[in-house]
Structure 1
Amino acid sequence: MSESTTTLRDGHAPVPPDPAEIRAERRRLIESVRALRRLLDGRRAFELADLRRLNHEARERGRAEAACAKTLQRVHERRLRRERSLARRLGGLDGKREHQERRALTVLRRESVERSLRATRLTTSEINGIGAGLIRDLAAAGIRTAADFTRVSWGKAPHGKGGEVLYIHRPHGRKVHINGIGEHRGRPLMEWRRAAVARAKARAPRELPPDQRHRIAEIIEAERARLKAEAAELPREADAAREDAVRLRTEALSRLAETAREAGRAAAERRAEFDAMAERLLALQAELAAHQDRYGDAGRRLRRAESRALRPLPAVPGPRAPEDGSGAGQGAPVSEPGTAGEPGTRVRAGLGWLLPVLLFALCSVTGVGELGEVTPPLWLRVGSRLAALATTAELLRLWVPRRRPATAAPMPPGTGTQATGVFLALAAAGMFGSSGEHGVVAAGWATAVLSALLLATGTRRRAKD
């Protein structure tokens, strides 16, 4: 502290310092304290930002761990699915071999039957009642062998002329009508074809030739070897996928740890600056208190500034998480000051304040004293709505910031008392404006007095806070 110089008169009594010098020194100390307080006001925002940073780092580490665990789970499930699929396919190879042999035999027999039917030609000696002329007509229509038609059926004559006629169906869906072939000649024609089909099926082979059976067996064995090789490759693919997932997690955690160390060092430097400023502020407060003790009151103008300068230091927000990047407690976010679950922290304003907000909002729309037959004067209708609207806006201004996590706080003391006083004042105004009866007016005066007391009490509590 720089003290005012004193001189000696006749070498004995010190000369008291000039009051102007005392006030100037006192102002210098007060301004220094104010400047440091303004700088220290940013500490709470810094601590909250640092806590949010720690929470963000913890969430990122948790996301990296969760992503790795999810990837490992997917790798395990994919391996199980592929193992089950390969085992099912390996188990079904024997049945597949039998199925292919049956299908090949079916194809072989069908080709043999078709060859036999194409070799069975239609002649006059084969079918009774069908002469050379009809044979020529059938050949002109493309029917020369038993393979050239499948069945016969009755239908309307071509172009709708005449009654029903007999149609001969070709293999690919076409049907033809041959004049002279009716029911008596159609039935022998179909019986001839059935006999030819029966003879062809009887001559068809009933088992596969050895070369085809051997070729099917080679195909099945090659498929079996491929599936076994794929099953043997599954563990190596799963191990490689797990190693990639673990490597990605390690790289992500390393990047996060490096970023956390850098941010932690910067936060530690900033915190050290705040600590140094706090120590300097305490020293200046002690110097100011000593100056007060030595020289007493410096005047009415400085008295309030001195009391504000000597206020205790603001509390630093809650405990800080470790910043050494060691990973201790990495999975759990740090609670910010004012959040639930931390002892001694503030709580948010309750949702019950919405009730008076809605009530005053309703009054700002409907007014007071306007529900009866008597119409209140214009000044009451306008004034009541304006008062209700102003109260609604004030309650929302106080309540909304105190619901946010970053600025959570209870409502100021006396707010509820003031709101009740305003509501009773509106009720009293409605009584005065809606009726002139003596009893209603007396109740209105009583309500007005009570509302005035409540308003005065709430305003006093708000002023003290």
Structure 2
Amino acid sequence: MRAERRRLIESIGALRHLLSKRRAFEVADQRRLNHEAKHRNRVEAAHDKALHRIHEERARQEASLNHQLNALDGERERQETQALALLRRHSIERALSGEHLTASQVNGIGNGLIRSLAAQGIRTAADFHNVSWDKAPNGKGGDVLYIHRTKGDKVHINGIGEHRGRPLLEWRQSALSRAEARAPHKLPPDERHRIAEIIDAERVRLRKELAEAPQTAETARAEAVRLRTEALDLLTTAAGQAARLAAVRRAEFDAMAERLLDLQSQLSAHVDTYGDVGRRVRRAQNRALRPIPQTSPLPGIPSPRTPGDAAARVSLTKVTDLTDSHPVPGVRASPGWLVPILYFCLTTVVGVGELGDNTAHPYLMIASRLVALTATAELLRLWLPRIRTRTAGPMPDGTGWQTSGVFLALTAAGMFEDEKSDVFGVACVVSVLAAVLFLAGTGSRIVKADDRAGKNPTSRNGAVS
């Protein structure tokens, strides 16, 4: 009988060890689903962004092409004006280059000054464009006349002052007037025809690009759709393979859960038939008869096997502390409980009724510190596990009332010990209120514990249905 019971207990222990990995598996599978959803969202976001970019690019291209086509209407006149201005400038430059400076054309300038001007690069009317007065090159002698060369800086020629510089500039201006009068005022027909051909060719090119813009955008859109389809197909293939593997693993866990329930049924029946076989085996069989840890199923993922039917056949529950609340994932105890905890810690150190010149009775000094220490330890025992991630949950019902009752009780004790103020009546009222609150909180916790005990009946050997 001991050997058979040990075999059942060891088998149950091995299955429990294997089933303990199910929670990690479910968490990993949920993380996989989250990653798959995130990758799909990224693909869809990239696809939408690509379509938006293609649409904006097409609109920008069409707007630019239409603007260029509309600008071609005045482009012909602008190019003809530019070509005519260039033609007149070249004609004037050629005419000025043909006007050579001689002594007979400018009064007061002889052959010596002609040679001095030629030495500075001034031989024709095209070689200079203006004259002006400025300080002498050596800074002495006052202002002198400078001649501004067309291709260079200004130069000063000794012997050319105001009386000779003005006739020189007038000769240049008269040559410029004659050149402008002889310059052409219309473009030749062949040049106008060439400009018209350029404008027509540009218009044809822009219209062709405008007609090809929708096709180019459609090609880019088709490429974006193809990339999205390929990415989603890869994700779907990988997700399907991972889902099949997860379903197989989940079915294995469900089969192990059913097997564990069957073994617990056999162990419970063996205990009912043959009774107790010893203290060491009794402890092991009590551990083996604990209920199967339940793992919350993933939303939207049906289990390949349903262990619920098998669980209905056996009702085995471990005796637990019914005064504590079950952990509730995502719900933690409030940090505000630190306030009463710190108050009771302070009261443990300084006591009550001992501030100022008051001296409390030794019994009250000891009793108040013990009560504050007990309240601190109880609150820490209840609060610390409920702020952790794995064991998070709300504080038990009635704890607040109990804490308020202890706080008012300590306050009333301090008021009774106050010798200078007449607060005896108030202290009595506070004492009654403290007792009511403490008893109400204790009753609430007891009722809550009884409700939980009614929902989870326990027995030493378990009940087989």
8 Å CA contact 1:361, 1:392 repeated in 2? no
In the alignment, what sits opposite 2:387? Answer: 399
CA distance, structure 2, for counterparts of residue 359 and residue 92 of structure 1: 81
Does residue 409 (structure 1) correspond to residue 397 (structure 2)? The answer is no
CA distance, structure 2, for counterparts of residue 143 and residue 119 of structure 1: 13
- Indicate the larger mover: 222-231 or 166-175: 222-231
The correspondence for 1:86, drawn from 32, 46, 65, is: 65
| Residue identity matched to 1:125 | S
The correspondence for 1:125, drawn from 104, 110, 131, is: 104
Deviation at 1:398, TM superposition (A): 6.0
SS in 1 for 2:121: coil
In the alignment, what sits opposite 1:317? Answer: 296
Does residue 295 (structure 1) correspond to residue 274 (structure 2)? The answer is yes
SS in 1 for 2:247: helix
- Indicate the larger mover: 213-222 or 108-117: 213-222
8 Å CA contact 2:327, 2:393 repeated in 1? no
CA distance, structure 1, for counterparts of residue 340 and residue 64 of structure 2: 67
Q: Percent identity?
A: 56
SS in 2 for 1:160: coil
The correspondence for 1:244, drawn from 223, 228, 251, is: 223
With over 3 angstroms needed to count, the CA separation of the structure-2 counterparts of 1:179 and 1:348, relative to structure 1, is: same
Describe the superposition over 1:239-296 as per-residue Cα deviations: whole angstroms up to 9, x where unpaired.
2222221111121122112112211111111111111111111211222222233233
CA distance, structure 1, for counterparts of residue 213 and residue 124 of structure 2: 58
CA distance, structure 2, for counterparts of residue 122 and residue 235 of structure 1: 66
8 Å CA contact 2:101, 2:124 repeated in 1? yes
SS in 2 for 1:147: helix
In the alignment, what sits opposite 1:44? Answer: 23
| Residue identity matched to 1:37 | R
The correspondence for 1:274, drawn from 242, 253, 273, is: 253
TM-score by length of 1: 0.69
Describe the superposition over 1:403-456 as per-residue Cα deviations: whole angstroms up to 9, x where unpaired.
xxxx47326759988xx79x99xx99xx9xxxxx9xxxxx9xx9xxxxxx9xx9
Structure 1, unaligned stretches of length 5 or more? 1-20, 325-343, 374-387, 402-406, 432-436, 438-442, 447-452
CA distance, structure 2, for counterparts of residue 361 and residue 217 of structure 1: 94
CA distance, structure 2, for counterparts of residue 408 and residue 123 of structure 1: 112
In the alignment, what sits opposite 2:120? Answer: 141
8 Å CA contact 2:386, 2:392 repeated in 1? no
Map of 1:2-401 to 2, 5 A cutoff? 21=1, 23-322=2-301, 346-350=328-332, 353-354=334-335, 399-401=387-389
Describe the superposition over 1:300-359 as per-residue Cα deviations: whole angstroms up to 9, x where unpaired.
5544544443333332313443589xxxxxxxxxxxxxxxxxxx9944244x74456699
| Residue identity matched to 1:168 | I
CA distance, structure 2, for counterparts of residue 206 and residue 25 of structure 1: 124
Deviation at 1:193, TM superposition (A): 1.6
| Residue identity matched to 1:399 | I
With over 3 angstroms needed to count, the CA separation of the structure-2 counterparts of 1:227 and 1:323, relative to structure 1, is: farther
Structure 2, unaligned stretches of length 5 or more? 304-325, 357-375, 415-419, 421-426, 432-438, 453-465
SS in 2 for 1:169: strand
CA distance, structure 2, for counterparts of residue 101 and residue 361 of structure 1: 93
Deviation at 1:167, TM superposition (A): 0.8
CA distance, structure 2, for counterparts of residue 194 and residue 153 of structure 1: 15
SS in 2 for 1:165: strand
In the alignment, what sits opposite 1:338? Answer: none
SS in 1 for 2:144: strand
Describe the superposition over 1:91-126 as per-residue Cα deviations: whole angstroms up to 9, x where unpaired.
212322322222111111111111111112223333
TM-score by length of 2: 0.69
| Residue identity matched to 1:139 | A
CA distance, structure 2, for counterparts of residue 225 and residue 294 of structure 1: 102
SS in 2 for 1:167: strand
8 Å CA contact 2:103, 2:110 repeated in 1? yes
In the alignment, what sits opposite 1:335? Answer: none
CA distance, structure 2, for counterparts of residue 256 and residue 219 of structure 1: 54
Deviation at 1:38, TM superposition (A): 2.1
CA distance, structure 1, for counterparts of residue 340 and residue 160 of structure 2: 101
CA distance, structure 1, for counterparts of residue 33 and residue 101 of structure 2: 96
With over 3 angstroms needed to count, the CA separation of the structure-2 counterparts of 1:393 and 1:217, relative to structure 1, is: farther
Deviation at 1:158, TM superposition (A): 2.1
CA distance, structure 2, for counterparts of residue 97 and residue 111 of structure 1: 21
With over 3 angstroms needed to count, the CA separation of the structure-2 counterparts of 1:123 and 1:392, relative to structure 1, is: farther
With over 3 angstroms needed to count, the CA separation of the structure-2 counterparts of 1:320 and 1:347, relative to structure 1, is: closer
CA distance, structure 2, for counterparts of residue 136 and residue 27 of structure 1: 132
With over 3 angstroms needed to count, the CA separation of the structure-2 counterparts of 1:279 and 1:393, relative to structure 1, is: closer
In the alignment, what sits opposite 1:341? Answer: none
| Residue identity matched to 2:54 | V
CA distance, structure 2, for counterparts of residue 345 and residue 103 of structure 1: 87
8 Å CA contact 2:96, 2:176 repeated in 1? yes
CA distance, structure 2, for counterparts of residue 393 and residue 95 of structure 1: 89
CA distance, structure 2, for counterparts of residue 361 and residue 106 of structure 1: 95
With over 3 angstroms needed to count, the CA separation of the structure-2 counterparts of 1:154 and 1:362, relative to structure 1, is: farther
Deviation at 1:150, TM superposition (A): 1.0
SS in 1 for 2:187: coil
CA distance, structure 2, for counterparts of residue 161 and residue 394 of structure 1: 105
8 Å CA contact 1:349, 1:408 repeated in 2? no
Deviation at 1:189, TM superposition (A): 1.9
SS in 1 for 2:138: helix
